Amino acid sequence: MSHKTESEAGKAQAEKGVVIIDGPASVAISMTPKAAAKMGKRMIDAAGIADTHPEAKEKRRHP
């Protein structure tokens, strides 16, 4: 699978009891607060693991 790895974070906002995430390429996701909190934790956990991979260090040197 080919995909572009984004280096810019999306935006999140709360509106009418839901969390709306606006990402790159016009991607938008609406989630319940509980689902958004769970996804946020999973993303933080995955980011910590990915940051230890040698490939991540290489991308920091050559964006």
The secondary structure of residue 4, as a DSSP letter, is: P
Confidence bin at 1 (pLDDT 50/70/90): very low
CA–CA dist 51, 38 (Å, integer): 20
Supply the pLDDT for residue 62: 54
Q: Which tokens in the block code for residue 1?
A: 């699978």
- Report the alpha-carbon angle 3-29-55, nearest 5: 30
Supply the pLDDT for residue 18: 98
pLDDT in tens, 13-44: 999 999 999 988 888 999 999 999 999 999 99
pTM of the model: 0.75
Q: Which tokens in the block code for residue 42?
A: 């999973």
**E strands, 1-63, in order:** 11-15, 18-22, 28-31
